[in-house]
Structure 1
Amino acid sequence: MSIRTRISTRRGAAALAAMAVLGGAGLYGLGPSGAVASSHREAPLIAADPAVDNTDLYAFVSPDRPDYVTFVANWIPFEEPNGGPNFYPFATDATYNINVDNDGDARPDAVFRWKFKTTDKRGTGTFLYNNGPVESLDDENLLVRQTYTLESSFDGKPFKTRVSNGPVAPSRVGPASMPDYGKLRDQAAIQLPGGWKVYAGQADDPFFLDLRVFDLLYGGDLSETGQDTLAGYNVNTIVLQVPFKDVALNGDAKRNPNIGIWTTTDRPRVRITGGGSSGDRVQVSRLGNPLVNEVVVPAGLKDAFNASRPDQDAKNPTIVKRVTNPEVPQLIEKIYGIPAPATPRNDLVEIFLTGITTKAGGPIKADLNSQLNNKDVNPKRFVPSEQLRLNLTVPVTAEPNRLGVLAGDLQGFPNGRRLTDDVVDIEVQALEGAAQTGKIVDALAAGDKVDANDQQFGARSPTSRCPTVSA
């Protein structure tokens, strides 16, 4: 039975119970700047270091180039557009990475890494980011600029430089300073040999949800819903578009269409107050599927998860237990009286640790996005691990459904993640057993009534489908 016929196409899902869980997982303060959303401030240590905080990862087949895959990786949560005069640079002592595993051993087979450099011409002359209207990236009025080096490594081979001094789109200061900000973003989107396209700079935060959980969970009667907590905030984003052959096992996406993706950020082990660093580099942030570190990983392991590798996941019994016997359904049952599905939750093991496949012996009788489905994969080397998995050969959906696979739209989450996918609603329904029953939980169908991002995709969006910037 195909997953399209296995899973109900009924619309409707809810984020209500997830909001309650997120509230218990670490909402600090009453304002939105202290909220937790996807991977925004999800662990104690990373909350104090926003410049290297992975917020969200998206991966999807490119609608404009159907034999290319687009990765969108975001950092720095809750960028208030008026947050000058220093705004939101990428960290210059960090390395920002997109990792791809195509053979299922939970180790990266393709790594793309960015390193940033800042040129600040303000000196003692001014506090301003720019001292006049900025009409191009090389405008002398732009006093603070960032550039990057992009390097890539395939199959463990040495890294090769792909871009030197790549332009970063500046933070949007406002219409007087940047009368045509779309032009600046277009200039920061560059095409490389081999068909690659890359962009680094600011973008609207495309994650959407309502987090007003403090007032007796949305007013006690769902009257306090429908407000996008992240509306009006930006993030720093890296967008990369590469052909399938560069990430598929043996370069053959027809035989081996399934890949796993996660992002990481590295810092020097020792950072010196006032500038400088020493020692080797350590991983300080990690992100694959959305909301995993928030609602799956317990508080005492959140920092450790950010520092861990995917090949270590299956060796951690506490993490595995949180998947096979998750906390969220227990809380939903306690708060709302909806019975939690029976454990062990092997359906969630497929969604989060193996990918959806009949070869893992799970209850979801379909083959969709596990590397075990690749013809050239050795199953003896396969390692269950937390990754965002994507089947490159699922056709682009003409009219995407926000509930993704649960609504029969096989190109949506958890098969990769598009910017339009309502991942909170999807994950709550999956945690309540919708993926194995094929039925949406009607008792949670009211939802938070935030079903789409507040910003549309820009008509001149860099590297396709990159969202506009909040002003």
Structure 2
Amino acid sequence: MKARLTRSALGVALLCLACGAQASSHREAPFITTVPKVDATDFYMFNSYESGRDGYVTLIANYQPLQDGYGGPNYFSMDANALYEIHIDNVGDAKEHLSFQFRFKNKLSNSGAGTALNIGGKMVDIPLIQSGAVSSVKDANLQVNESYTLTVVRGDRRSGTAQMVAHATSGATTFDKPVDNIGKKTIADYAAYAAKHVYPITIPGCATPAKVFVGQRQDPFAVNLGTIFDLVNAPVSVITDPALINAVPNTIGDKNVTTLALEVHKDCLKASATGDDVIGGWTTASLRQGRLLDPKPGSGHQTSEKAGGAWVQVSRLGMPLVNEVVVGLKDKDKFNSSKPKDDAQFADYVTHPTLPALLEIALALPNTAPTNFPRNDLVTTFLTGIKGVNQQKTVTASEMLRLNTAIPAVPFAQQNRLGIVGNILAAGNDNAGYPNGRRPKDDVVDISLVAVMGGLCVANGDTDKLGFGAACKPSAVPLGATSFKLHDGVD
């Protein structure tokens, strides 16, 4: 499984409609299935590899999974009663010290009156979000205009110092979001239209300008969800044969997500100019504690709900796949509401993972799960970072992406789809990929399969040469070198 990408980092994240990033979290917890607008599908954090963007870090949070391209007439606006955030821990205590907050507004045209047509002498509102072709920002043919504000908070996300982010040229603090890709008759060149919504921004406290984009992107998550969650309904001979990585059809290749993307200089993300080069990051979404349905809503846009009270976190995503296939079902909602600093309560799911045992059952391969309990190799890989690569100088075991901003970015064409794992197994030269942050090209499903089934312990050898612990050795991995070949059958 790998993203179908051919462009550089920022171009991929912000400008390419047909490109995107692998999605790892679709409807992963019971409650989040009831509020899809705040369902985080993916979080990415990587050193930008566009030409001329040395020193920048790209942050991408994707929301609203499985959007259909034909999802009219309302399409997929963001929740105006929600708070979407990207958090950075730059000291290693598993707490946010920098947060970027996105808030959305959905407003009807004509100062809230909407778009009406003269029908037999009466002005009657139209039922669609557009009345004609759309090509520009705030196009007159749009009945619904979606905008957002961006706030940077230093310190605690709720009690820290909050400042508005502004357009670097105009000074405006409200940004327009492109309407979703309705179709070619409405928007002849969606890529060009979306590109008009990439904004240069000034972040208070940061010396270097940044960029922001929010809009619909194609979700190229190359996976057959039916096969995977039907007890891995694929022959063992397929998922252990590297020549068959395209054997299973990608069932969601035509789905979309909504992307929140920032490109920020690393000096803005670090605690100080001389601070730790390794940063941690994750995304969350929150809803108001009180949400009441109005039995007699008035005219307007989204008037059936009244929301108020404190923010309540309902979605969380850092490392991919964690809440989807690691955390137990009964704790999935709990995990989505938790903070990294409290992750000790979920430690058993990593030190004693059930996924290897489930794969034994699903594939009828008894006695193939690794036996090195507790699985400190997984703790290192997913909860603390790898020493000398992406482990912070002071580290608190917790689930988040960790990125070493000092490791040079690798050009797209030279990137190893297996990231650091590929580097370990193939003696390559790419330490800039997952789990050192996460790039769009990183094949996180295959990487995770190799790791969870003990591939890193085979590579660690009997002398702990990679530092995963003495118990992490080949004899603890019944699959042996076969664990290196595991894949999900979709590329």
Q: TM-score, normalised by structure 1?
A: 0.80
Q: 2: CA distance between counterparts of 1:153 and 1:120?
A: 30
Q: 1: CA distance between counterparts of 2:342 and 2:236?
A: 41
Matched, 1:110 2:98: yes
Structure 1 segment 296-315 matched on structure 2, within 5 A: 296-314=326-344
- Asked whether the equivalents of residues 196 and 243 of structure 1 are also in contact (C-alpha less than 8 Å), the reply is yes
Matched, 1:59 2:45: yes
Bigger relative contact order, structure 1 or 2, given CA contacts below 8 A and separation 6+?
1
Cα-Cα RMSD: 2.2
Matched, 1:434 2:455: yes
Q: 2: CA distance between counterparts of 1:410 and 1:354?
A: 16
Q: Deviations over 1:63-121 (max 9, x none)?
A: 12120100010000000010000000010000100000011111111100000001123
SS at the partner of 2:174?
A: strand
Shift of 1:179: 0.6
Matched, 1:281 2:311: yes
- Asked whether the equivalents of residues 89 and 97 of structure 2 are also in contact (C-alpha less than 8 Å), the reply is yes
Match of residue 219, structure 2, among 182, 185, 205 = 205
Match of residue 188, structure 2, among 166, 179, 189 = 179
- Asked whether the equivalents of residues 199 and 240 of structure 1 are also in contact (C-alpha less than 8 Å), the reply is yes
Matched, 1:218 2:258: no
- Asked whether the equivalents of residues 402 and 420 of structure 1 are also in contact (C-alpha less than 8 Å), the reply is yes
- Asked whether the equivalents of residues 429 and 441 of structure 1 are also in contact (C-alpha less than 8 Å), the reply is no
Q: 1: CA distance between counterparts of 2:332 and 2:481?
A: 29
SS at the partner of 1:234?
A: strand
Q: 2: CA distance between counterparts of 1:215 and 1:289?
A: 23
Q: 2: CA distance between counterparts of 1:80 and 1:407?
A: 34
Matched, 1:160 2:163: yes
Question: Which structure's CA Rg is the greater one?
Answer: 2
- When residues 91 and 216 of structure 1 are mapped into structure 2, their CA distance, relative to the original with a 3 A threshold, is closer
Q: 1: CA distance between counterparts of 2:379 and 2:324?
A: 17
Structure 1 segment 57-456 matched on structure 2, within 5 A: 57-64=43-50, 65-121=53-109, 122=114, 125-156=125-156, 157-163=160-166, 164-193=173-202, 194-213=208-227, 214=230, 217-218=233-234, 222=238, 225-252=247-274, 256-273=276-293, 274-314=304-344, 316=345, 319-334=346-361, 335-337=364-366, 338-357=368-387, 367-372=388-393, 379=394, 382-398=395-411, 399-408=414-423, 409-438=430-459, 441-442=481-482, 445=485, 447-451=487-491
Q: 1: CA distance between counterparts of 2:436 and 2:213?
A: 24
Q: 2: CA distance between counterparts of 1:175 and 1:236?
A: 19
SS at the partner of 1:59?
A: strand
Shift of 1:354: 1.1
SS at the partner of 1:294?
A: helix
Q: 2: CA distance between counterparts of 1:144 and 1:278?
A: 23
Q: Deviations over 1:339-393 (max 9, x none)?
A: 4242110011111211112xxxxxxxxx211112xxxxxx4xx421111111111
The residue number in structure 2 matching 1:24 is none
Q: 2: CA distance between counterparts of 1:221 and 1:370?
A: 36
Q: TM-score, normalised by structure 2?
A: 0.77
- When residues 66 and 436 of structure 1 are mapped into structure 2, their CA distance, relative to the original with a 3 A threshold, is farther
- Specify every segment of 5 or more residues in structure 1 that has no aligned partner in the other structure, as ranges: 1-12, 15-35, 358-366, 373-378, 452-471
- When residues 349 and 221 of structure 1 are mapped into structure 2, their CA distance, relative to the original with a 3 A threshold, is closer
Shift of 1:443: 5.6
Shift of 1:211: 2.5
- When residues 96 and 251 of structure 1 are mapped into structure 2, their CA distance, relative to the original with a 3 A threshold, is farther
Letter in 1 for 2:219: D
Q: 2: CA distance between counterparts of 1:354 and 1:299?
A: 24
- Specify every segment of 5 or more residues in structure 2 that has no aligned partner in the other structure, as ranges: 3-21, 116-123, 167-172, 203-207, 239-243, 294-303, 424-429, 461-479
> Structure 1 segments of 4 or more deviating over 6 A?
none
Letter in 1 for 2:176: P
The residue number in structure 2 matching 1:361 is none
Q: Deviations over 1:106-149 (max 9, x none)?
A: 11111000000011234651111211111112221122111101
Q: 2: CA distance between counterparts of 1:448 and 1:228?
A: 11
